[in-house]
Structures are given as C-alpha cells and as structure tokens.
Structure 1
C-alpha cells in the first residue's frame, strides 16, 4: 500500500516538471447531477495525459547509473509518451514496447520524442514479454505503466490536488485500467477525506482490473479495440501493488459501453470545450449514462488524457457510426 507520505514526497519531487492542473466547474454536469461537479484537467499536461506524473517520479527516483542504462516499458501509448518525454529531459533513453492495438497517432508521438519503439503482438501482455527480454538480455531498467510504487505515488498527487481544491469532495470518478491512477488517487483522497467515495470507470469489454476484482485475484482477459484504448491491457498475474490497493480502496467499478464513451467525448467537446480521448471521457460518460447513483455532495472527475486520433474525434463528435460499438 502506497501511503500519503510517499505521495507528498512525489509531489515535491516532480513539482517543477509537471503542471498542477486546474479543477474547474462544469455548469452543465452540475445541473444534470444537482450537485457541484468539477473537472480535473489532467489532459492539459505537456504529454496530453496524467501519465507524466508517475513517469517523472519514477525516473527521478532512479540512480544516475540506472538512468544511463536506459529504461523500458510496455505501454498502450500514454505511459510510453510520458516516459519518453521524461527520459529525454533527464538524459536517459527509452525503449517502449506496444501492441498492434495501439493507435498510430500515439505510436508516432512516442517515436517523435526519440524513443526506440517495438510493436509486439496484439496485447499488452505480449508487449510485456519483450520488455522482460530486454531487461534480461540488455540490462535495461523496467518502469511499468502502473504496477510500481513510484508510478502510483506520482499519480496519487492528483488526489492531493483534488482534495486541496475541493475540501468537501464526496465522490471522485477516475478512469481504471491497470490501476496506477485509481490506486494513487484513492490512496490520497481516502487519507485526507476518509468518507469520500472513489469509483473506477472502464470499458465493458477487456476490463482486466474489474475481472480481477470480481475473481479475487489477477486474471487474464482478452483485449479488444475500444474508443477507450488507454484502458486496455492486463494487470499482470504477478501484480504486486495496484490490485491490492484497488481491492481495498475503490468503492465501486462501473463499466461503460462504447456508445456511452462516445457520448462522453461529444459532451466534453460541445459543452466543456475540451478535446478528450475515450479514456479521458469516462467520468463524463458515467454521469450522463445514469450508472452512478445520485451524488450526495460535490464530485470531481479526472479527465485523464486528450491523445485521440483527430479523425476518430471528428467522427465521434459528428455522430458517425462507432466501429467499436458495432463489434459488441
């Protein structure tokens, strides 16, 4: 379990390298829900997602010798982009292993930042096997996308900022994939405001953490294309950090259809003037869908990322057929 002290230390460590993002009110969602609803604009980070916090904290925690060996990670895109950005900033080199399900726009951005990109298989689990090979054969240092205490602590700094900006927050809605974001935010929020609820949000198909929580242990799931591509991937059968934390700290997990995620993206654009990828829009989607019980007090939604293919975004905003929804 990652505690408040580690998260506070991470905030001090990364302060000069990341943006302390705004928490802004949403008049439209507040009216719909009958309580104050605020949006945590993590998609405004330099790399377009919250991942920069954990990646920067983890890299800064390495020794100079470890950074010189080079770092490696599996990624669905945003972690790889964040690691590549942080590695270039700190004089290290990054190798990012991604599956064939990762959108081309995310792959291109990782390459643009100077990382060595490896496209492996059709799942993050397959990409992880290449990571392990590079660690064993080439001596690279692995910094995984979520199941690492320094990654979790970095993401937890979002929770600190939410509670400080909204001290009476009653509910926090957070995207859920491997659990680094959800675990970190929940640890910070629960430590500072124990009675607040933290709800994880993910897509209906291929939701590895939800399946694992239901089974009471980490399990493998099949991955599917989704508008919320950043939420894909397994949690690792040998998960050491995030499964236990999510099991202990999350009050609920809500699954969203592709159509509901698309509605969240459209609302963000039309009513909040924000461009979000599917994973970043799941908080809005959950409120619009009616799948969240009536809110008892102020709510905060983590808008986790903006790195969507703009052709896909235009199609969604224009209400064109959702190819992922057709596969259900």
Structure 2
C-alpha cells in the first residue's frame, strides 16, 4: 500500500463524478424524519435509508463506481476482494452489471444472508479465516496467485467517492443539517461523508461511531497512525482489526468526533430503529442511533442525520435483538 500522503487527494469533484457514474443503476435513497427517534434523542433526527439500496447496504454505491471505471484488462482479469458481507455484495452486484468475474473471501461463519446474496449475484465465495482480516490476507494471496484485480474494502479512492454520494444526497435533501453520524468499520463511508460535508456544508459536523469491541479505526484516528486492536463485536459491519490508510488519512483531517458504543447499546439501538422506522436494520446501521443517544446533551435541539448503512440482518440476529430485554422509553437516558 502507498504510504500516507501518497494517496490521491479526493475532492467533491470526485463524488460528483461518482454520482454521474452510478445514476443509471441506483435510485436516490430517502431521508426520513421520525418523531419517535426525535423524542428519544432530543434532537431532530432524520435517517438516511441506505438499507433501501438493491443490496440492502450503502457499499453498492462504491462498488458500481469502481467497476464502472475499470479498463477492459482489469475486468477481464476478474476481481477479488475480502468482506464480511456488504462490501462483497457491492462488488458482486457491480461485477454482474459489467460482466466481470468476482471472488469474495469471507471469514468462516459470516452472515449467511449476505453469503446467499453474494452467491445469487454470481460471485464465487471463499470462506477462510476466523475474522475479516484473516479473510483479507487470504484474498491478497489469491490476487497474487491468479492475477485478479484486488479490490481493497477501504484503500480505494473510487469506493470512497462512490459511497460519499449518500452524504451528497442527504445535504441536497436537507441542506440545514447540523451533524451527520456515520458508522465506521474500515472507514470508507465516513471518509466520503467528510469529503462532501466539508465542501458543501462546512458547519455540518461529521461524527463517526464504532464498536467498543472492535476499536481499531477509533484508535488509529486517535493516534494519527494506523494501529491494530481486538475484534470481538457481533456487528460485522464494524468488525475490523486494523485501520485502513486511505480512509484514515481523510478522517484525521476532517472527522469532527468519534465515539465508541457497547454491544448492549448496539442491540438496543437496533431494536429502537426497527420499532420507530419499521425497517430492517443491522447492528452497524443502528450504530449512529447508539452514538446519538450517547451524545444527547451535545446534539440537543440540532438537526441530525443518521446514516443507516444497512439492513442485512439474519433471522437469528433479528430474534436475538427482539428477544432481549426491552429498554423502556422513559429510561432511555440511561444509555446517554
């Protein structure tokens, strides 16, 4: 990977070009307000519904943008990538659109709903390793062995520009946003949000959220250096053991704040998101609500967008969330 500082500088122009590239294939996702969530947080809450995209997650924006820009030689070689599910679906979806063979390496025991989706899209799914990072290392070995075009899930400028279109849409739909809260695993979504928000609405804060049990991106952001850490969260969309260089370089410069939330907070937020939005939401997609509840005093009275990055929850995960102890609305302040 290039050293920090060697990456191309991403700008709003890159995101605008990405919007042009993905427009023939994806509809804009809605930005809806929910009085119930507004009451819980004490701020005007709007949800950016990336769970409405064809793969059920925001990553498809980046996948289509990247594959649409590959030359014939790269497409002919085929693509290989590593994923816990949503990124793999995005590359599989784009590969099907553009007639490109896709191999996705996933950790053993990955979300079965996401595995079925990737296979249905025509991707070859290779299960390897105990977590995302072991799957990623196997993916890199396959790329070297077979000559595939390796698609890193974070260190790809075209992916970041593509996923940044969700924030572009949100600010076009509601230009008066005071803050946008974005979940962070590898950090591509938050990096894209930073690029757009700082160019279009400099007064709008971008706040990242990650799981306490997988804090590598958070620790990297704090240290201003890529670090490794534990990975024990059940929220696969937040589950990485190491920070990624390109997203981190953008977050170091532009991210306004970064918070960690616990597993119970993620479960409670998932339940509350499902209850109040009547949408399926996976844990990573509910993480912004968990963060907003933690930041209630700071966000009070402001207009806040929560990026619901995905809704690819399995039936077992859904049962686990719904069978848990319900948090009474009157005591929700205990989460703050």
TM-score, reference length from structure 1: 0.92
Among 289, 308, 312, the residue aligned to 2:313: 308
- Change over 3 Å in CA distance of 1:142–1:205 after alignment to 2: same
Shift of 1:288: 3.1
Instruction: Give the stretch that moved more between structures: 254-263 or 130-139.
Output: 130-139
1:223 matched to 2:231: yes
| Contact 1:286 1:292 (C-alpha < 8 Å) held by counterparts | no
Give the Cα separation in 1 of the matches to 2:59 and 2:211. 19
* CA deviation after TM superposition for structure 1 residue 225, in Å: 4.0
Q: What is the alpha-carbon distance in structure 2 between the residues aligned to residue 292 and residue 150 of structure 1?
A: 36
Picking from 274, 277, 287, the partner of 1:272 is 277
**2:129 corresponds to:** 121
CA distance in 1, matches of 2:266, 2:127: 27
Distance in 2, matches of 1:292 and 1:154, equals 33
Partner of 1:31: 39
Which of 186, 196, 206 aligns to 1:188? It is: 196
Q: CA deviation at 1:142?
A: 1.1
TM-score, normalised by the number of residues in structure 2: 0.90
CA distance in 2, matches of 1:133, 1:291: 45
User: Does 2:240 match 1:233?
Assistant: yes
Deviations 1:2-57 (A, max 9, x none): 11000000000100111210001111122334432110000000000001000100
Match of 1:165?
A: 173
Quote the offset at 1:131 in angstroms: 1.7
Which residue number in structure 1 is paired with residue 159 of structure 2?
151
2:332 is aligned to: none
Distance 2:299 2:58 in 1: 27
Is the Cα contact below 8 Å between 1:254 and 1:291 reproduced in 2?
A: no
Residue matched to 1:108: 116
Alignment correspondent of 2:256: 251
Report whether the alignment pairs 1:71 with 2:76: no
Q: Distance in 1 between matches of 2:256 and 2:233?
A: 27
Deviations 1:195-236 (A, max 9, x none): 11100011111221001122221111222141x211112345
> Which residue of structure 1 aligns with residue 217 of structure 2?
209
Q: Once structures 1 and 2 are overlaid, which stretch shifts more, 14-23 or 282-291? A: 282-291
Q: CA deviation at 1:134?
A: 1.9
The equivalent residue for 1:13 is: 21
Q: Secondary structure at the match of 1:241?
A: helix
Give the CA deviation at 1:296.
5.1
- 1:85 alignment partner, one of 78, 93, 100: 93
CA distance in 1, matches of 2:61, 2:269: 24
**Partner of 1:299: helix, strand, or coil?**
strand
Q: Describe the superposition over 1:269-316 as per-residue Cα deviations: whole angstroms up to 9, x where unpaired.
A: 212111100000011222234566234521111000011111221221
Matched residue SS, 1:21: coil
The answer to whether residue 288 in structure 2 is matched with residue 283 in structure 1 is: yes
Counterparts in 2 of 1:292 and 1:115: CA distance versus 1, 3 Å: farther
Q: Which runs of 5+ in 1 are unaligned?
A: 322-328
Which has the larger displacement, 98-107 or 174-183?
98-107
Of 52-61 and 34-43, the range deviating more from structure 2: 34-43
The offset of 1:187, in angstroms, is 0.8
8 Å contact from structure 1 (residues 269, 317) kept in 2: no
Unmatched tracts of structure 2, length 5 or more: 1-8, 327-336
Q: 1:199 to 1:33 in 2, by over 3 A?
A: same
